[in-house]
Amino acid sequence: KKINLKNRLDYLKNNKVYENVFFKNNIYMNTFLVKQLQIELLNKLTLLFDDSLILKYRFVEFIGETKTISIIQLSKMLNEFYNNQYKSNDCLLLLRSRILSKIENNIKNGSPTILNTNDINDLFDEIYKKINLKKIFSYIYFLQPISEQSFVLNKIFSGFGRMYSKFPDVGFISGLHKKSLELVEEDIAYVDLYGFYGYNANAHPFFTKHVIDLENIWGGDNLTDLVINVDYEKKDVDFYLRGEKIQLISMNVISSRNRPVIHRFLCDINQIDAADLDLTKKIIFDNWKSFKNNKVTFIPEVKMAEIILSRNKWLLNISLYKKENNEVELFSELIRDAESGLIPFQFYVRPLKVKYLKNIDQMNDIYKPQYINLKNVTSYKLLFRIIKKSKILLLEQNTPNSSDKERYPGDFRNNTIEIGVENYFIPMENN
């Protein structure tokens, strides 16, 4: 109550505790259509941050020659490979550093980074020269619309129908697979790396011509029938099942990090688990100590073709606030910073460096970014709990915000929307 009166916060009656987010009727997407150019640029940039390509490059360098490897041979060398893989000179990491350096310079100048078509095409040309990309890639982009033509990119996951395989109606997935294989000039088949791993959500119908039964209990093909061909000259790795060329995919929802080593390797070298193009977040987590001497550090956004890849962010060093342990005085100081434009009133917050947590309840506040409205009476307790666990906070812009959603057309108005755009493609050299 004291904080509410001192800072003129809104009362609880203005808060929406529950909101019905379900539409009464099916919504047919005739708006918020992502442009082809936007998807093409996202594809090229995602390839640069696709760790499956790095793993493939490192594995080829580790083998060091053109040869055929059986699963038994692979299992015997994987521990050595994982222990020594970082010794290779990764061309993709060097290319990533070019774009990250540009963003770092803009952060120092306090200016946003706009990646244009030429920037992306130049980087893609370098990738195309160094790594064999002549295979089918599939990513799904989760986008939140700001307007009908502009979006915020939230997350990227592997495609091939993986995110849809748990839906009630999944018959379309096999059709997508069949159509995508028409892009390839040679006979090739998708093969699903199937396994429950004690998690029933991994259960799904069989969509592919063959299924490799990783757990040897579901009646699919045996893992020992798989052969790996390493082409050192082309920097490529191909897979064959009883003499038939295949492309391995995983339709499981569980992360590959929770699988046995050989299963994890087969998944990770063929497709991403997930990717993140929030490029300023990469810089912050790698270099946060260099920002900690400032009370507030502004990290401007990164955009590309009307898509926000990284929202505006602010780093707060709470230890530099005068009354960090006094709840009322601390919030008064935070609100003064918001009124002066130093930080926003509404944002998502997460601790950057967390102290020791004693129980699950303490973890709940930091498991994912928490929404904070400094004018809202229910927010200050949550924010203060988070502050007590970490003195360095990462604030992220609330975009799209309520004003953006008010401008959504028709049935979309005032609703929170996220669009999943899945695509299949074979990278082609720039003309």
Using alpha carbons, select from 290, 271, 303, 254 the residue that is nearest to residue 103. 303
pLDDT band at 355 (very low <50, low <70, confident <90, very high): low
Residue of 365 and 155 predicted with greater confidence? 155
pLDDT at 257 over 80: no
Using alpha carbons, select from 397, 392, 378, 385 the residue that is nearest to residue 321. 392
Helices 91-109 and 279-287: crossing angle, nearest 10°? 90
Cα gap 214→231, rounded to integer Å: 25
Using alpha carbons, select from 413, 408, 430 the residue that is nearest to residue 150. 408
Q: Which two tokens stand for residue 319?
A: 């230890």
Using alpha carbons, select from 170, 214, 177 the residue that is nearest to residue 196. 214
Tell me the per-residue pLDDT of 292-319, one tens digit each, with 9 for 90 and over.
788 999 999 999 999 999 999 999 988 8
In which residue are the tokens 């998807």 written? 39
The average pLDDT across 253-281 equals: 84
Mean pLDDT of the chain: 82
Cα gap 285→47, rounded to integer Å: 22
pLDDT at 208 over 90: no
- Which pLDDT score is estimated for 43? 94
Using alpha carbons, select from 310, 296, 302 the residue that is nearest to residue 393. 296
- Which pLDDT score is estimated for 358? 60
Cα gap 428→40, rounded to integer Å: 11
The average pLDDT across 116-125 equals: 90
DSSP secondary structure, 233-267, as one string: TTTEEEEEETTEEEEEE---SS-GGGS-HHHHHHH
Helices 91-109 and 51-63: crossing angle, nearest 10°? 140
DSSP secondary structure, 347-375, as one string: EEEEESS-----SHHHHHTTSS-EEEETT
Q: Which two tokens stand for residue 237?
A: 């790795």
The continuous run of DSSP H or E covering 129 comes out as helix 117-130
Specify the pTM. Answer: 0.86
Tell me the per-residue pLDDT of 135-144, one tens digit each, with 9 for 90 and over.
899 999 999 9
Tell me the per-residue pLDDT of 366-406, one tens digit each, with 9 for 90 and over.
667 889 999 887 788 888 888 887 878 999 999 888 888 88
Vertex 238: Cα angle to 233 and 241 (nearest 5): 150
The average pLDDT across 146-172 equals: 83
Tell me the per-residue pLDDT of 85-113, one tens digit each, with 9 for 90 and over.
765 557 888 889 999 999 999 999 999 99
Question: 113-115 and 296-299: which strand pairing?
Answer: unpaired
Give long-range contacts, CB 8 A cutoff, 24+ apart: 238-245: 239/191, 239/270, 241/191, 241/210, 241/212, 244/187, 244/189, 245/186, 245/187, 245/188, 245/189
Q: Domain limits of the chain?
A: 1-21+33-48+90-159+274-425, 56-85+170-270
What percentage of the chain has pLDDT greater than the value 90? Answer: 34
Cα gap 396→71, rounded to integer Å: 45
Q: Which two tokens stand for residue 350?
A: 């997460």
Cα gap 95→124, rounded to integer Å: 9
Cα gap 405→82, rounded to integer Å: 46
